[in-house]
C-alpha cells in the first residue's frame, strides 16, 4: 500500500513537471512571437512614419497654399507720405483706386496753398480688392516719400466658421419649427412656435449681418493714406556719422534761411495792414497835437486876459489915489 502511494505521488510530480516545462516552452514561444510581431509592427510603423514624413515634406507647399486660400484674412495697411506735388498725388491716388476696382470710403483735405509755407495735408481711407492690395501699395509708395508704413493681418477663419455654423444650426431649427407650426392644432401651440421662430429669425439676421461685414472686410482690404505737402522731403535712408552731421548742418541752415525768408514775406505781406495802421496813428497824432495846441492857446489867452484885468485894476487904483490926493 505504501509503495502504491509513493508511486502515485511520483506520477503526480512528473505530470506537474511536464506541464510546467510545457508552459515555459509555450510562454517562450509566445514571447518570441510577440517580440517578432512587435518588431514587424515597429518596422511597419517606422516605414509608415517615414512615408508620411516624406509625403508631408513633399506636399507641404501645396497644403499651405490650400489652407491659405481657405482662410478668412482681413488685411489692413497704413501709409504716410511726403510730397512736393500735393495736387498731383491726390489725383493719381483717386485714379488708381478706381482702376483697381476700389473706392474711397472717407477723405479729408485741410490747409491751403496760399500760405507762405506749405500747410496742406490729406487723409484717405480706401477700400481695395484683396487680390489688388500689393499692387496698390506699390503704386502709392511711388507717389511720394514714404515716412511710415504699417501692415497687419487678422485671421478670422475660426470666428467666421463659428458664426456660419451657428447660422446653419438656427436655420435647421427654423425648418423644424415650421414643420411643427404646420401641424399645430391649437392657438397656444401656434403662438409659442411663432414666438420661438421670431427669436430664431432675429438671431439668423444677426449672424448674417456679421458674415456680410466680415466678407466685406475680407474681400476689400483697408488702406489708410496720410499725405503731407512739404518743401523739403525727409531722407529716410541710413546715414553714417559725417553724413548725419552734414545733413543736420544743412537742415539748420535751411531753417535759418527759411525763417528769414518767412520774416521778409511776412513783413511785405503785412504792408497793407501796416499802412492802414500808420495812417490811423498819424491821424490820431495830428488830432492830439491840435487838441493840445488849442488847449494851450486857450490857457495862454485866459492868462493874458487875467493879466490885463489885473493891470486895469492897478491903473484904476492909482487914478483913485491921485484924485484923493488932489482933493
Q: Which pLDDT belongs to residue 48? A: 38
Whether residue 246 has pLDDT greater than 90: no
Whether residue 164 has pLDDT greater than 90: yes
Whether residue 184 has pLDDT greater than 90: no
Q: Which pLDDT belongs to residue 34? A: 38
Whether residue 310 has pLDDT greater than 70: no
Whether residue 210 has pLDDT greater than 90: yes
Q: Which pLDDT belongs to residue 115? A: 47
* Range from 91-95, 193-197, 235-239 carrying the lowest mean pLDDT: 235-239
* Rounded Cα gap, residues 54 and 49, in angstroms: 8
Q: Which residues contact 235 (CB under 8 A, 6 or more apart)?
A: 247
CB 80 within 8 A of CB 138: no
Residue 223: CB atoms within 10 Å: 24
In tens, the pLDDT along 257-299 reads: 767 767 787 888 888 888 988 889 988 998 988 888 888 877 7
Q: Which pLDDT belongs to residue 207? A: 96
Q: Is 102 helix (H, G, I), strand (E, B) or coil?
A: coil
Q: Which pLDDT belongs to residue 235? A: 63
Whether residue 201 has pLDDT greater than 90: yes
**For the residues 11-26, what does the mean pLDDT come to?**
46
* Range from 39-43, 156-160, 205-209, 299-303 carrying the lowest mean pLDDT: 39-43
In tens, the pLDDT along 128-146 reads: 999 999 999 999 999 999 9
Q: What is the pTM of this model?
A: 0.53
What share of the chain has pLDDT > 90, as a percent? Answer: 40
CB 146 within 8 A of CB 63: no
Residue 39: band (very low, low, confident or very high) from pLDDT cuts 50, 70, 90: very low
Higher pLDDT, 20 or 313: 313
What share of the chain has pLDDT > 70, as a percent? Answer: 63
Q: Which pLDDT belongs to residue 100? A: 94
In tens, the pLDDT along 76-89 reads: 999 999 998 899 99
Q: Which residues contact 103 (CB under 8 A, 6 or more apart)?
A: 97, 126, 127
Q: Cell digits for 96?
A: 488708381
Whether residue 239 has pLDDT greater than 50: yes
What is the distance between the terminal CA atoms of the chain, rounded to a whole angstrom? Answer: 217
- E-assigned strands of the chain? 73-83, 103-110, 121-129, 145-155, 220-229
Whether residue 119 has pLDDT greater than 70: yes
CB 167 within 8 A of CB 207: yes
CB 81 within 8 A of CB 144: yes
* Rounded Cα gap, residues 319 and 139, in angstroms: 115
Burial of 210 (0-12, 13-18, 19+ CB in 10 A): middle
* Rounded Cα gap, residues 182 and 190, in angstroms: 9
Q: Which pLDDT belongs to residue 108? A: 93
* Rounded Cα gap, residues 27 and 126, in angstroms: 78
Bridge partners of 152, per DSSP, are: 76
Whether residue 5 has pLDDT greater than 80: no
Whether residue 13 has pLDDT greater than 80: no
Tell me the fold of 72-157: Alpha-Beta Plaits (3.30.70)
**For the residues 100-104, what does the mean pLDDT come to?**
95
Amino acid at each position: 500500500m505504501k509503495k502504491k502511494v509513493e508511486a502515485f505521488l511520483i506520477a503526480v510530480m512528473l505530470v506537474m513537471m511536464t506541464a510546467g516545462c510545457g508552459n515555459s516552452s509555450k510562454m517562450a514561444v509566445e514571447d518570441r512571437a510577440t517580440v517578432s510581431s512587435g518588431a514587424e509592427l515597429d518596422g511597419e510603423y517606422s516605414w509608415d512614419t517615414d512615408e508620411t514624413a516624406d509625403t508631408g515634406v513633399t506636399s507641404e507647399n501645396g497644403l499651405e497654399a490650400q489652407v491659405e486660400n481657405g482662410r478668412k484674412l482681413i488685411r489692413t495697411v497704413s501709409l504716410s507720405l511726403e510730397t512736393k506735388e500735393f495736387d498731383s498725388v491726390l489725383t493719381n491716388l483717386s485714379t488708381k483706386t478706381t482702376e483697381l476696382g476700389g473706392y474711397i470710403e472717407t477723405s479729408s483735405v485741410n490747409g491751403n496753398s496760399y500760405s507762405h509755407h506749405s500747410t496742406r495735408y490729406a487723409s484717405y481711407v480706401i477700400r481695395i480688392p484683396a487680390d489688388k492690395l500689393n499692387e496698390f501699395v506699390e503704386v502709392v509708395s511711388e507717389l511720394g516719400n514714404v515716412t511710415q508704413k504699417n501692415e497687419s493681418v487678422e485671421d478670422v477663419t475660426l470666428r467666421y466658421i463659428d458664426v456660419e455654423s451657428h447660422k446653419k444650426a438656427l436655420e435647421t431649427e427654423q425648418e423644424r419649427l415650421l414643420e411643427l407650426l404646420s401641424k399645430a392644432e391649437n392657438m397656444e401651440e401656434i403662438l409659442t412656435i411663432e414666438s420661438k421662430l421670431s427669436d430664431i429669425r432675429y438671431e439668423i439676421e444677426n449672424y448674417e449681418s456679421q458674415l456680410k461685414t466680415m466678407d466685406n472686410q475680407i474681400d476689400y482690404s483697408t488702406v489708410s493714406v496720410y499725405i503731407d505737402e512739404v518743401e523739403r522731403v525727409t531722407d529716410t535712408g541710413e546715414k553714417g556719422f559725417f553724413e548725419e552731421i552734414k545733413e543736420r548742418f544743412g537742415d539748420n541752415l535751411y531753417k535759418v534761411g527759411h525763417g528769414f525768408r518767412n520774416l521778409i514775406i511776412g513783413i511785405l505781406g503785412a504792408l497793407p495792414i501796416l499802412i492802414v495802421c500808420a495812417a490811423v496813428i498819424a491821424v490820431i497824432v495830428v488830432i492830439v497835437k491840435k487838441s493840445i495846441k488849442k488847449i494851450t492857446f486857450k490857457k495862454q489867452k485866459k492868462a493874458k486876459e487875467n493879466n490885463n484885468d489885473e493891470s486895469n485894476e492897478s491903473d484904476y487904483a492909482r487914478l483913485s489915489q491921485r484924485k484923493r490926493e488932489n482933493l
